Chains A and B, each alone.
Chain A
Amino acid sequence: MFKILEKRVLNPDVKLMVIDAPVVAKKAEPGQFIILRVREGGERIPLTIADYDRENGTVTIIFQEVGKTTRLLGTLNEGDYILDFVGPLGIASHFENVKNVAVIGGGLGAAIAYPQAKKLNSMGVKVDAIIGFRNKDLIILEEEMKKASNRLFVTTDDGSNGNKGFVTDVLRKLIEEGNKYDLVIAIGPLVMMKAVSDLTKSYGVKTVVSMNPVMIDGTGMCGGCRVTVGGEIKFACVDGPDFDGHLIDFDEAIRRQAMYKTEERQSLEEHYCRLGGLKNG
């Protein structure tokens, strides 16, 4: 059992939790993920590690309430316990020989991009951070990102924060203005990572994306998380989750993500039925 030490609501759909998990905290690195199971009979879901504190033995997760499991998780409070919490899994991001990096986070991806920006920043790398959201109410981690970067650009799809556009618009502008990046890190929805990768490919800028497909064990056992990278089958859990954005078959990944759409909807509806009033919450 893993205790929830702290819970914060970052926006109506996104919550942050600090979990007491010393074994995971001891070895966690940016880019790695954990798998959790909220309760008996629950699913195993992967979540990227948003932060960790080795000294206090804690791991921070940030999640968006999109399905039954994340909604259920969101109903837990400080002092409650999560049944299973295992990690750190996957290969840590490695940043060698980089001086100028653009770190891009779309929506919840900002939460995953944050530890990367923080790590690069602490290494003395110049970081331009670009984070994008649907509207200004959904903006998360603005302050944290500001601290972890040299320049921060926050965009909204509807312009409600006064800066309308997609993250790709900002990136294109920065590159066109003559900013030279050794590396672009893009984390967010598959369509966003695809758009960034398409853009950077045309400029020849190396791009790393973080994949978060359906998986069960997270140790290479089920193969459910397979992605095609440069024509080869890779398992996101053990070969990733970071991959070269220019080599990923995004269309396939987008298709595969829809595999359980019907079941996800069914689970969610049932969850609402049981919780009654929460439907509008």
Chain B
Amino acid sequence: MANMSLKKVEMPEQDPDVRNKNFKEVAKGYTEEMAIEEAKRCLNCKARPCVAGCPVNVKIPEFITLMAEGKFEEAYLKIKETNNLPAICGRVCPQETQCERVCVRGKKGEPVAIGRLERFAADWYMARNKPETVDIQKSNKKVAVIGSGPAGLTCAADLAKMGYSVTIFEAFHTPGGVLMYGIPEFRLPKDLVQREIDTVRELGVEIKTNMVVGKSITIDELKEEGYEAIFIGSGAGLPNFMGIPGENLNGVYSANEFLTRINLMKAYLYPEVDTPVKVGKNVAVVGGGNVAMDAARSAKRLGADNVYIVYRRSEAEMPARLEEVHHAKEEGIIFKTLTNPIQILGTDDGWVKGMECIEMELGEPDESGRRRPIPKKGSEHIIDVQTVIIAIGQSPNPLIKATTPGLETHKWGGIIADEETGATSIPGVYAGGDAVTGAATVILAMGAGKKAAVAIDEYLKKKDS
């Protein structure tokens, strides 16, 4: 019997006033009973719009049906058929714009909580620590994957399953890319990311850390070392700044630096670890995306009294997930929308003492389709802050482009790659994820990694025949 409740089964969360002081995960996940109850909301409809709504086409109705029957292990394995990182996707995918957006149940009431169910299946399986037995027919063909973020890990895992000998080259000392340095512990626990990486390793993928492709080794040298195909998933690592006065004052961070210090270097444990991070009494985070929410919520957890999100458009235009905005507000983050920074003010010895902003109003839609913000004359005002975090986006890292002759890129830095295959201007070299699209989502990067794995397989088979 289907559960016809119009609402999703609620997922327990840490109380906002408790969690904004710790870095533990916000959402606690379903119990078995909750998962079964929610799974029963799926009508197992014929049209299955959710599957097409998923960038990696998880067999959603199938896994949910298994779950409704209490077959959690089978449900997990069903997800794994197309998704290598379910514990991660269940947490950070924007389901509301993908699978859940098109769910039939969403026409009247809330859609099925696909993300929460996926997360439950992965956590259930991990908690039982079942080794995944994979029977792989090994070929001796070598493929190199650059970057161990969501795109690279997915591409590597899929290629390994096809039998290729895959080596990932990671610039940092720890693999995981944005999953490790970008997304905070309270949204995506790092031991869980580590477990997902371990499962990729168990497929036979070798991960070489401390290898900056473009510096330690070039794409051409990888080819000389016998890698027959290469996938570039190096992400969008270059932080954008606003170009306003005062951006180099002490106390101004790029969101990248702020979050890397906290997540990768674990500065929230300082002085237990050696890397510090500075958070003033009042903090302004400039930007309206998920990264801005992550930075603001981290600053709050590190003890800031007042944390402001400063965003030049209105809340309706914010690119962040609704859930993240909601969580941020619950935790006491103050939203200053339709507000744009003009300059950051400093003390005589070079520390941030405030940020001058101007109010904005919305005009005609611009090229992005969103209404263009226009400054309101005479509305200049100063916010009292000691820390400013700039979260207005990242551009692809130019290191690979600069050292790979023949690799074509867009003017803004993104690698030009075929949308369906990831093929670049160099035969045998593929690319996907943020390195191609600019900063986007984990799941889109995973989708690109998957498509490229298929294309690389075809390319290598053709090359042989």
Q: Which residues of A contact B (CB under 8 A)?
A: 23-24, 27, 37, 41-44, 68-69, 83-89, 216-224, 226, 228, 233, 238, 252, 255-256, 258-260, 263, 266-267, 270
The verdict on A270 contacting B271 (CB below 8 Å), with A23-B211, A219-B397, A221-B256 known, is yes
Contact of B265 among A43, A220, A255 (CB under 8 A): A43
**Are A222 and B275 in touch, CB under 8 angstroms?**
no
**Are B210 and A84 in touch, CB under 8 angstroms?**
yes
- Within the complex, what minimum Cβ distance (angstroms) separates B44 from chain A? 45
**Are B215 and A87 in touch, CB under 8 angstroms?**
yes
The verdict on A258 contacting B250 (CB below 8 Å), with A41-B274, A220-B397, A267-B271 known, is yes
Instruction: List CB contacts (< 8 Å) of B214-239 with chain A.
Output: 215-217, 237-239
The verdict on A260 contacting B278 (CB below 8 Å), with A221-B260, A228-B248 known, is yes
**Are B211 and A43 in touch, CB under 8 angstroms?**
no
Residues of chain A within 8 A of B256, CB atoms compared: 221-223
Contact of B247 among A224, A233, A270 (CB under 8 A): A233
- Within the complex, what minimum Cβ distance (angstroms) separates B215 from chain A? 6
Nearest to A68 among chain B residues (CB) is B274
**Are B241 and A223 in touch, CB under 8 angstroms?**
yes
**Are B173 and A222 in touch, CB under 8 angstroms?**
no
Complex alpha-carbon distance, A86 and B213, angstroms: 11
Residues of chain B within 8 A of A85, CB atoms compared: 210
Q: Pick 23 A–B contacts, CB within 8 A, sort by A.
A: A27-B215, A42-B273, A42-B274, A44-B275, A84-B209, A86-B173, A86-B210, A89-B212, A89-B215, A216-B264, A217-B171, A217-B172, A219-B237, A220-B238, A220-B397, A221-B237, A223-B257, A233-B243, A238-B398, A238-B399, A263-B271, A267-B271, A267-B274
Residues of chain B within 8 A of A219, CB atoms compared: 171, 212, 215, 237, 397, 399
Contact of A256 among B266, B350, B399 (CB under 8 A): B350
Complex alpha-carbon distance, A248 and B215, angstroms: 25
- Within the complex, what minimum Cβ distance (angstroms) separates A211 from chain B? 13
Complex alpha-carbon distance, A252 and B264, angstroms: 27
Instruction: Say if the beta carbon of B187 comes within 8 Å of chain A.
Output: no
Residues of chain A within 8 A of B210, CB atoms compared: 84-86
Residues of chain A within 8 A of B276, CB atoms compared: 260, 263, 267
Complex alpha-carbon distance, A130 and B329, angstroms: 59
Known A219-B399, A252-B350, A267-B271; further 12 A-B contacts with Cβ < 8 A: A24-B216, A41-B272, A41-B274, A42-B273, A68-B274, A86-B171, A86-B211, A87-B216, A217-B260, A223-B239, A267-B276, A270-B271
Residues of chain B within 8 A of A220, CB atoms compared: 237-238, 397-399
**Are B266 and A252 in touch, CB under 8 angstroms?**
no
- Within the complex, what minimum Cβ distance (angstroms) separates A262 from chain B? 9
Instruction: Say if the beta carbon of B349 comes within 8 Å of chain A.
Output: yes
The verdict on A43 contacting B257 (CB below 8 Å), with A219-B171, A220-B237 known, is no
- Within the complex, what minimum Cβ distance (angstroms) separates A75 from chain B? 14
Contact of B250 among A221, A223, A255 (CB under 8 A): A255
**Are A27 and B216 in touch, CB under 8 angstroms?**
yes
The verdict on A223 contacting B212 (CB below 8 Å), with A43-B275, A255-B350, A263-B270 known, is no
- Within the complex, what minimum Cβ distance (angstroms) separates B63 from chain A? 36
- Within the complex, what minimum Cβ distance (angstroms) separates A236 from chain B? 12
**Are B248 and A256 in touch, CB under 8 angstroms?**
yes
Instruction: List CB contacts (< 8 Å) of B180-198 with chain A.
Output: 181
- Within the complex, what minimum Cβ distance (angstroms) separates B389 from chain A? 11
Complex alpha-carbon distance, A82 and B398, angstroms: 29
Residues of chain B within 8 A of A88, CB atoms compared: 215-216
Residues of chain B within 8 A of A42, CB atoms compared: 273-274
Instruction: Say if the beta carbon of B95 comes within 8 Å of chain A.
Output: no
Contact of B241 among A87, A89, A233 (CB under 8 A): A233
**Are B247 and A84 in touch, CB under 8 angstroms?**
no
Instruction: Say if the beta carbon of B19 comes within 8 Å of chain A.
Output: no
Complex alpha-carbon distance, A216 and B173, angstroms: 11
Nearest to A32 among chain B residues (CB) is B215
Instruction: Say if the beta carbon of B261 comes within 8 Å of chain A.
Output: yes
Contact with A along B328-361 (1 / 0, CB 8 A): 0000000000000000000001100000000000
Nearest to B270 among chain A residues (CB) is A263
- Within the complex, what minimum Cβ distance (angstroms) separates A141 from chain B? 26
Complex alpha-carbon distance, A52 and B273, angstroms: 31
Complex alpha-carbon distance, A44 and B172, angstroms: 10
- Within the complex, what minimum Cβ distance (angstroms) separates B438 from chain A? 15
The verdict on A223 contacting B254 (CB below 8 Å), with A84-B209, A255-B350 known, is yes
Residues of chain B within 8 A of A27, CB atoms compared: 215-217
**Are A86 and B399 in touch, CB under 8 angstroms?**
no
**Are B266 and A41 in touch, CB under 8 angstroms?**
yes
